Chain A
C-alpha cells in the first residue's frame, strides 16, 4: 500500500478539504410543498453540485467527501407530524440493505438509466456530472490512469478490476451522499472476482499487485466513515461478506476472498468489516488463515455458519436461492442481497426484564419452577406483543438512487419484508433462572421474599446472598446442562412468541440472538437481578456469557452456546469470545484457535465473533489515549478505535472475559 497516503488518511489530513453547508433546505422545501421524494432528489443534486473533486496524492481509488453534513429535508414540525402519522424506524432513512452493485458495474449508468424512474434518472445524471468533475481534475493533475478509468466508468460497464473497484466506490459514495446509511457491501468476492480473474489471466496483475490495489480500495472505506451515522464511531455498516456457498451448495471462496483477508490484515483499519461464511466443508487451513486476521485485533472475521443459517432462513420462508445468497447487515443480521428489505433491527426484547417482572408478580404464587417459567414465558410474549403492536404504518423516506441499485422496487419494501427483533441479556436471564430453580425451588435454601427484597435494594443488606448468587451459583458457559437448557428454553420461548405474527408489510418477525447497544440500554431499565448482577451493570453483548460469570474456558463456552435451537431464531447475533493477545503469539496458538473455531462451526454454532484483547493496553489507553490512536476493539458487531468510544463502551469491553493461555 501507499504508506504516505495511508498515514495521511489515518491522520485525517484529508479533512482539510471538507466544509459544512449552511443551507436551510427543509424550510425551502416546506414552503414550496415538495414531496419527500422530490426533496431527496433535489438535495442529492445540490450536494453533488457542491461536492468538489479532490484527488489525494497517490490515490488509486478516488471520490472523497468534501461536504461534511447532509442538511435535513424536513423541518422539525414536519418531522413531528410525519412521526405522529407513521412508525419511523431509527432515522427514517433507508439503511442496512445490500444493493446489487454488480448489475450496475456490469451495465454502466447509461444503460441503468433506461429502466430507472424519473428520480432515478436525475440521480444518475448527477452522479455522472460529479464523476466528470473528477475526470477534469484527473486531467489537470496529469493522472492518465484515472482519465482512462473515468472516461469509461461510471457511464459504461467496467472493463477490468480497477474500473470495477472505482465504479463500486462511486456507487457506494453516492448511496451515502443520498442519505442512506449502513450501506453494506455484500458478497464482494463473489461478484468482483471475474474482473480480477480476467486481469490476472492477461498478466495485468499478480497476486502482489492485486493485493496492493485492494489495500487502496479498502482504504477508501475509511476516508469518509467518520461522517457516516452510527451509535459510536465505527458503527457504519460497511460489512463485506466473503466465502460461503452458491445456490448449489458449492464453495465460492476464491483468490479474491483470500486477498481480502490479507488486505484487511495489512491495513489494520476498522473498515470494511470482514465477515466469512463457513460450513462443515470449510477446510481447517482456511480457519487458520482467517485466524491470522483475528490476530490483527480488529475483531475480523466474524463467522456465519451456512449449515445452520441457510436451512433456518428457508424454514422462515425465504426461497432457496435467496437463502443461499445471504449476507449480513451492518453488524450480523442476516439479509438477502439485491432483493431483501428486511428490517432486522426493528426492536429488542429484554429477557432479564421478563424475568424481573415475573419475579415480582408471580414468584410468590408459583409452586414449582415450571410454573414460574410459564410466567416468564408470558412476560416474553407480552414484550413481543408490545413491540410488534407498536409497529403500524411503517414509513421510510424514499431513496431514488437506492431504488436504482436494488433489483426490486424499494419505496415500500422489497421482495422480503421481515422484521428482526434482538434478544438482550440471555445469559443474565438464564443465570437468574438457574439460581431460582436451584436455590428457591430445589434446595429451598433461599426464601422467595428474601430474594425479591434483596434485589429491590440492590443487595445492600445481604452480602452473603449476593456472593452466593454472583459467584457460587451455576452459570451459562460451563457446559452444564442444568443451566444451558434454560437458555435453550428462553430462546425457544422468544421464537414461539413471534411465531405466526405478521408485520405491517406482510412479512414475519424473526427472533434474534443479538443485542446491539441494548446490552447497555436494557440493563438500565431494571435493577439488580437474581444472577447476582448489581443494578446498572450491563448485560453481556449479543449471545454471550455473563460478564462476571466464572467460566472454565472457551471450550466450555462453545459447548454451552451451541446447544440452542437456532433453526427457530435466525435473525443473527453472534457468540462473542475474547482472547488475550498472547494466545496468537506463535503459529501454534493461531492454529489452535483456528481449530477451535472449526469446532464451533462443526457443532452447529450459528455465528461467532472473536476479539483479541490486551487488558493492560486498554486500561492504559483510558489514561493515555494519545498513545493508542490505532488500538481497535470489537464492540457488538463492528470494530472501533478504542479511544474514540464513550467511556461506558470502553468499560464494557474491559469488563469482558478474556481467555488467556
Chain B
C-alpha cells in the first residue's frame, strides 16, 4: 500500500512517552486557520520555496528535463542554496517500516515508540492500518483530529497504545468557521475514545481570542471531564512561517 508522508522526525520530544520517531502523514480533511504544518494540508506532493537564502539567480525557472520537476514548473535540482524542495513523498508501507525499524534499532531499549501525526493520519486509513501492522511490536501513538469515520476511528485506536486527540472548539458552528468542518463527528469519536479504556491525552491549541476564550474552555471542560488528561498548548507564534514557503497565505 502506498501512502504520502511529508516528514519523519527522530527524537520527537512532545509526542508521547520516551524518545519517539514521529511520522507525518500528508493530507488533512480540516483547514484550521492556525495550522503550523501547512505542508500537511494537501494530500499531494507540493513545491516548497524557502526564500531566506534565495539569491534570485532564476536558474530554477529555466526549463529542465527532469521528470520530477515537470509538475512544478521549476527545476528542483539546480538551486545553489537548496531553496526549492518537494515536500511529500510517496512510499510503500514495507519500505517505510524498514526505514523506521532501523532508526528504532539505534536506541534499542531506550526507544519509546512511533507516533503517527501529520496532517491527519486517519485520512490515509488503509496505509495507516498496514503500517501499524508492520510496527505492531512497538509502542504506538497517534495524534489525530478525530475527524474520521467511526469505524475507522475505532479500529485504529484499538491497535494503538496511546491516543493524542485534539479538541479545539466546543461550538459546532464556530468550529466550522475556523476549521472548515463541524465537530459532531469529532465529539462522537471522543465519546467512543472515553469508553474505550485506551490511555489518551486531549490537546487544545490556545489560539488568541478564538479557542482560548473563557466560553470555549469552559465548554470544552464540560465535554472533556475530570478523568481525562488535558493539555492546553500555547500558540506557536512561528506558525505562519511555512505558509509563504508553500505559496499559501496565513490567515490569522
Contact = CB atoms under 8 A, between A and B. Distances in A.
Contact of A661 (B12, B18, B103): B12
B77 A467 contact: yes
Contacts of A308: none
Contacts of A510: none
A553 interface: yes
A599 B107 contact: yes
Interface string B101-114: 01100111010000
Nearest to A602: B108
B111 to A, nearest CB: 9
Given A468-B77, A556-B106, A595-B110, A589 B13 contact: yes
A299 to B, nearest CB: 19
Interface in A465-488: 466-468, 470-472, 479
A284 to B, nearest CB: 9
Given A583-B13, A661-B13, A552 B77 contact: no
A467 B66 CA distance: 14
Interface of B is mostly: mixed
A464 interface: yes
B102 A479 contact: yes
B11 A554 contact: yes
Contacts of A555: 10-11, 19, 21, 103, 106-107
A348 B102 CA distance: 35
Interface stretch (B78-86, B90-98, B137-145): B78-86
A315 to B, nearest CB: 27
Interface residues of B, number: 22
A479 B108 contact: no
B80 A467 contact: yes
A360 interface: no
A90 interface: no
A558 B106 CA distance: 8
B106 A463 contact: no
B136 interface: no
Contact of A554 (B10, B14, B110): B10
Interface in A8-49: none
Nearest to B21: A555
B8 interface: yes
Interface of A is mostly: helix
Contacts of A559: 103, 106
A468 B64 CA distance: 14
A64 B2 CA distance: 70
A556 B103 contact: yes
Interface string A564-604: 00000000000000000001000011001001101100110
Contacts of B59: 463
A471 B8 CA distance: 18
Contacts of B8: 552
A357 B45 CA distance: 42
Which of A466, A552, A556, A558 has the most CB atoms of chain B within a 10 A radius of its CB?
A: A552
B78 A467 contact: yes
Nearest to A558: B106
Q: Give 5 closest A-B pairs by Cβ, nearest first.
A: A553-B10, A555-B10, A559-B106, A661-B13, A589-B13
Interface of B: 8-14, 18-19, 21, 59, 77-80, 82, 102-103, 106-108, 110
Interface of A: 463-464, 466-468, 470-472, 479, 552-556, 558-559, 583, 588-589, 592, 595-596, 598-599, 602-603, 659, 661
